[in-house]
Structure formats: C-alpha cells, structure tokens
Chains A and B, each alone.
Chain A
Amino acid sequence: MLPSFHYYQPESLAEALNLLADLPGPKKVLAGGTDVIPALSRGELAVEHLVSLKKLDELREIRRVGANLHVGALVTFRELVSSPLVAGFCRLLGEAAAAVGGPQVRNQGTVGGNVVNASPAGDLLPPLFALGAQVKLCRRGGERVLPLAEFLLGMGKTMLMPEEILTEVIFPALPGGAASSFVKLGRRNSLAISRISMAVIIFRNRQGRIEEARLALGAVAPRPVRAERAEALLKGRCPGPALLEEAVAAIAETVAAILGRRASAPYKRVAVKGVARQALLRAVPEFGKP
C-alpha cells in the first residue's frame, strides 16, 4: 500500500505549472513512475501532492531544431531505442537506452525521469554529458536552460526547484562522421544497475586523425565524469592498438583517483579497463587494427 497523497492529471503544461506553483507542501512530478512508485512504497518519499504529466503529449516528442536535437521529458527508453533521429544523430543515446532495465522498464521509464532522478548509475547521463546536453526547466511565468553538468549536483540532487518541470533535454546533433558508443558493465545483462558505464564520442578528420574525443564515465562518482587526460592524449593522433592502451591506462588512472578507498574500488579500478577498451573499439574499430 502506498502512502496517501492528492493526485492531479493536468491537461496542459501551463496547468501543471500552475498546480506546482500553487500547491503548498511537499509535491512531486510523476512521469514514468519507475523510480517514484517504488520510492513511495518503500516509504522513502513523502509527498502531499503528486502531479502527473500523463496528459502532456507535447513532452513526448523528439525534434530536430536547426543543429540541435530536442528530446521531450516523457520520451521513453524504448522510444529512444527505436527513434530514427536518435539512430542518425546520437547513436550512443540509443545504445544507452537499450541497456536500461528490461523491456518493461524501457516501455515506462522516461528521459526526464532518468535525468531528474540523478542516480550515479543513471544510464543516459554519461552519453548526455558527452553530448554536451542542456536541460530546459519551466515554471509558471518563466524558464531556464542549464547545462546538465550544472543541473546535476550529486546523488539524487539536482538544481530542479519544487515548482519546476524539466520539459526537455537539448544537445547538438552529432555530424554524420562522428563515431560514438556506450558500454555498460552490470552484474548481468538485463535488469542490472550499472557498476561502470562509459560513453564515447570521437570526431576525426579525413585522414582519420582524432580531432576531438569526449569520454564520459558513469557510476564511478556521484555524477558522470569526463576522462580529460585521456581525451587530451587522443587529440591529434591516429587510432591504433598502442594508442588504445595508452588511453585505457589514462582512463583507469582517472578512475582510480576518483574512487579512492570505496569498497568497490579494487574491482572497479580493474574492470574500468575492460569497459574503456570495449567502448573505444566499438566507437572506432581502427583502435584494434595495427
């Protein structure tokens, strides 16, 4: 049995924002529910008012606007997996969505929920970090757009105010030549929470030289972390097995420094090398070719 609360199904975003602005006491927005409902039933979340986004179809769209992709907060993991826009302009986000939970959770869970929940193991967060995503937060009478890196404050903590709704995630579409990948290590293939994950985006010039590498690691810190040393050392060089091992070593060093003496550190220090190798190879197969 869930604790009791008042429940609302606003018909429009404006109505939802009015409710959030006017309702007193603890309130929460409900999207897919895959995190909120179990938190309620475990008694970890106390709310007086639950505002459902169910009827806000305007938040279910994936749109291309100029150079950017706009992903509505209510887009489900399944929709990311099957979207041609995602496949064409941010393949790694589709790969990450496919790695979430099982089919049931992918049918229900949403992009907005994954971001707002701010779990260190949230699978969409490393790819969105690598993509340089921003989030749009609406409230009655105003809105603001924040870089994801500023929005996420730590485990379960974000800049979201109680009267705000995260309506969409915005990021530059990747150009056709960009390589990308997402790799997740869980305790098993399905229904597993990430132990380590990594998102890779690599831009190369016509000669195959790496112009820019963006490497974002998940589940090693309260928020995704960019492997900046490895990014710097890849820049200007051509992929191959020797460079791959250099990059993997640099990523492992970055991770070891972050993990410190956490109980999972000895495992993750070693395991991250396999994740990094696999992610780089999947994005750019030339890393495996001498």
Chain B
Amino acid sequence: MKPFRFKAIINDRPVELLIPPNRRLLDLLREDLDLTGVKEGCGEGECGACTVLLDGRPVNSCLVLAPEASGRKITTIEGLASAGRLHPLQEAFLEAGAVQCGYCTPGMILAAKALLEENPDPDEQTVKTAISGNLCRCTGYVKIVRAVRLAAVKMAGKGGGR
C-alpha cells in the first residue's frame, strides 16, 4: 500500500501530508489533524454527524475516502469562527438554545451554512430539507430550525455574512 500525498485547503489553510490511502476523510480530520469537531455517529452515511463541507457542499466524511478529497477545499466546524468571533450560525444556535448534547451540532451548522450560502432567506420547509441528512436525538429539531432562520436574519443584517 503506497502512501498517498494528500494536499488540500482545510479551513482556509493549506495542508499537505503523507497518508495511507485506506483512510476515510473522517479519520484524517480527527486523527491526523485533531479536528475533533467532526463526529463519527453511524459510520454509514445515515446520521450526518460527520458532515463537512467539500468545496462548499455538505458530505458525510465517513463515506469519503481521504485521497478523494485531495485537491479540494474542506471546511469543518473549527473553520467557522474567525478572529475570536463566532460565526452568526454558531451565535444563533446558542441564542436559540438549539444545542443539547451537542453531538449533531457541528454537522447541523455546516449543513445550514451550505444552505444559507445558496439561499440567504430560506423558509421553514427549506431549512428542514437542508438538514434532513442530519439526525438529532435530543431536541426535536424545532429550535434548530429556529436557529438557522435566526442566523439568516443576522447574516442579512451584516450584508450577507461571510
């Protein structure tokens, strides 16, 4: 098994390292790069806890072979806050009380970020569809949906957000 030279932009920083090719993107992020905001839930693409953005689109990092993500732009929850300030989605999740155990939260926020970049003013149904690949076993989703819409308002106030 020849090592694979993995190169990508992760959270706006270039990363280059040699990895065994039989690594999932999830394992690369957590084990090699300490980005433990990426959570493993089911490991089968059913729960969305391991969601990251690949070129801005949400994917399940447990279903992505790490070398397949080479050369691309990867965003994890660690890449959202900047200059010590939380992203409006993170603020909104706190303010709306949308976090209970927190395990699904990174994935939820990243799925929501992809949505808001495409559609800055989504209605409730659109938010529900956008997070339909993310399971939460604590909250019943009501506050999560509210938080995403609150973030949309915050981001509109800031001229479209980041």
Contact = CB atoms under 8 A, between A and B. Distances in A.
Interface of A: 1-7, 9, 30, 32-34, 37-38, 40-41, 50, 52, 54, 78, 101-105, 107-108, 189-191
A40 B45 CA distance: 13
Contacts of B7: none
Nearest to A189: B132
B20 interface: yes
Interface stretch (B56-64, B79-87, B89-97, B149-157): B56-64
B64 A7 contact: no
A37 B43 CA distance: 10
B88 interface: no
Contacts of A102: 48, 132-134
B22 interface: yes
Contact of B45 (A5, A52, A104, A189): A104
Interface in B117-136: 129-130, 132-135
A165 to B, nearest CB: 16
B16 interface: no
A1 B60 contact: no
A111 to B, nearest CB: 17
26 contacts: A1-B27, A4-B22, A5-B1, A5-B22, A6-B1, A6-B21, A7-B1, A7-B21, A7-B67, A9-B67, A37-B63, A37-B65, A38-B44, A38-B62, A50-B65, A52-B65, A54-B68, A102-B134, A103-B132, A104-B60, A104-B111, A105-B133, A107-B54, A108-B59, A190-B132, A191-B132
Contacts of A2: 22-24, 65
* Residue from B2, B45, B57 having most chain A Cβ neighbours under 10 A: B45
Given A2-B24, A6-B1, 4 more contacts: A4-B1, A52-B67, A103-B129, A191-B135
Given A33-B65, A37-B62, A52-B68, A6 B2 contact: yes
A34 B2 contact: no
A103 B46 CA distance: 11
B51 interface: yes
B1 A103 contact: no
Nearest to B129: A103
A40 B57 CA distance: 24
Contact of A103 (B20, B111, B135): B111
A41 B24 contact: yes
Given A102-B48, A102-B132, A103-B132, A3 B62 contact: no
A196 to B, nearest CB: 20
A191 B68 contact: no
A57 B114 CA distance: 24
A190 B128 CA distance: 10
A37 B22 CA distance: 10
A37 B24 contact: yes
A54 B65 CA distance: 11
Contacts of B111: 103-104
Given A101-B45, A189-B132, A190-B132, A108 B64 contact: yes
B31 to A, nearest CB: 10
A107 B50 CA distance: 14
